Structure 1
Amino acid sequence: MLAALTGMGLSAAAGLNAYIPFLVVALVARFTDVITLPAAYAWIESGWAIGIGALLLLVEVVLDKVALVDTVNDAIQTFVRPATGGLIFAATAAADDLEQSSGLLAENPWIAVVLGVLLSGVVHGAKATVRPAIDAGSLGTATPVVSAAEDGASVGLSLVAVFWPVLVIFALFGLLAALVWLLVLVRGWRQRRRARAGG
């Protein structure tokens, strides 16, 4: 159960920023005993994977703060974020299975991949849908603020998923509430813009 909660939290975090949960898992696995990755996933904690992940994170953090550029970046990330979500869910489920060699995820590792892809894909889809409206509604002024909030949420969700997986459900509800709030905000911006254009 905890492995599934960890995987869910990390996959949702990957939907916001693919490289943050990847690096959290890589660094925790490399420098602590909290996560022990099986041989098939040991490359995640290698120096070259951490270096490439850090470089890609830096690029993502910069590009995602610029209005319109963030939309292009989100289009590119449509493939990366779900794939990372699936990878991280599978890796952490497999790591847990080393210790408890039974259970649904141990017997069907493909389930972890599918769940990770789906969950991160849903979060990414919501982000990619809301962000262009925020860019347009705020004339780009809210873009860096919203992006920084998403990065913070990805870091927080990743850390909760790894260290306190029982809290993942609450964190996911919080993420859902934030997305709903953003959708309501975007709808309000659109209605005000239509009213101004009509009047």
Structure 2
Amino acid sequence: MNLDTTQLLAIAAAMGWASGLRLYAVLFLTGLAGMLGWVELPRGLVLLQNPWMLGASGFMFAAEFFADKIPVVDTIWDAVHTFVRIPAGAALAASVFGADQATWAGAAALLGGSLAASSHVAKATTRAAVNTSPEPFSNIGMSLLGDAAVPAMLGLAFTHPFIALTVLGFVTLASLIAIVVLFRFLRARLRRWRRRGRAPQPTDAAPPSQVVG
């Protein structure tokens, strides 16, 4: 099966977007699907099928899976990976087209990096907002939703590129709206915590009595 431009564009966009959520899942699942013959990978992504690459990405995939389920740890993980996911998403999207199509590769890198940035920031703000709740179940639920979204979007890109591009358009728009709303929510919570910190603290000690001479 030869991949046409629309399919390549959908794959590049999906990989960029998904990298902002679960970079190592993208690397591992894409390489595994190519190695097992489930999909035909573009030449620029064949490296992901290498056993050593699969081993490394699989290890990091497992580490990220568990780290993303622990409140606060997931926020720290997201903060550190701000410097990894976005450039990696751009690089993966560019690799879909390869060096033979430099113009398309450059456009795909810009697209992939932008989608990775939007999904990463939306994920980070969402999880930070969820972490303000004391119970852990909403955190785990949001994490599992991300776990399912990545393979679903990648599979859709390989099999139904037009649908994948349409879905990505709506998801990206929703992500931008969520970023604005959740940023305002987090800023309001931060201000509230700061006001509480400056509030006078009650004390059990009684005020000293004045001695009347």
Q: What TM-score, normalized by structure 2, do the two folds share? A: 0.73
Residue of structure 1 in register with 2:142 after alignment: 146
Equivalent residue in structure 1 for 2:118, among 105, 115, 122? 122
For structure 1, which segment, 2-11 or 167-176, has the greater mean C-alpha deviation from structure 2 after superposition? 167-176
Q: What TM-score, normalized by structure 1, do the two folds share? A: 0.78
Instruction: Answer yes or no: is 1:167 the counterpart of 2:163.
Output: yes
Residue of structure 2 in register with 1:69 after alignment: 73
For structure 1, which segment, 82-91 or 171-180, has the greater mean C-alpha deviation from structure 2 after superposition? 171-180
Residue of structure 1 in register with 2:85 after alignment: 81
Structure 1 Cα separation of the partners of residues 137 and 183 of structure 2: 14
Please list every run of 5 or more consecutive structure 2 residues that lacks an aligned counterpart in the other structure.
Answer: 1-5, 197-213
Distance change in 2, residues 1:54/1:11 (3 Å):
same
Higher helix proportion? 1
Structure 1 Cα separation of the partners of residues 63 and 157 of structure 2: 24
Please list every run of 5 or more consecutive structure 1 residues that lacks an aligned counterpart in the other structure.
Answer: none
Q: Deviations over 1:41-79 (max 9, x none)?
A: 432210010111111010001000011000000011112
Instruction: Answer yes or no: is 1:131 the counterpart of 2:127.
Output: yes
Contact (CA 8 Å) 1:10, 1:88: kept in 2 or not?
A: yes
Rg: which structure is higher?
2
Contact (CA 8 Å) 2:18, 2:150: kept in 1 or not?
A: yes
RMSD: 3.0
Structure 2 Cα separation of the partners of residues 177 and 137 of structure 1: 26
Contact (CA 8 Å) 1:35, 1:92: kept in 2 or not?
A: no
Residue of structure 2 in register with 1:25 after alignment: 30
Residue of structure 2 in register with 1:59 after alignment: 63
Distance change in 2, residues 1:44/1:187 (3 Å):
same
Contact (CA 8 Å) 2:67, 2:74: kept in 1 or not?
A: yes
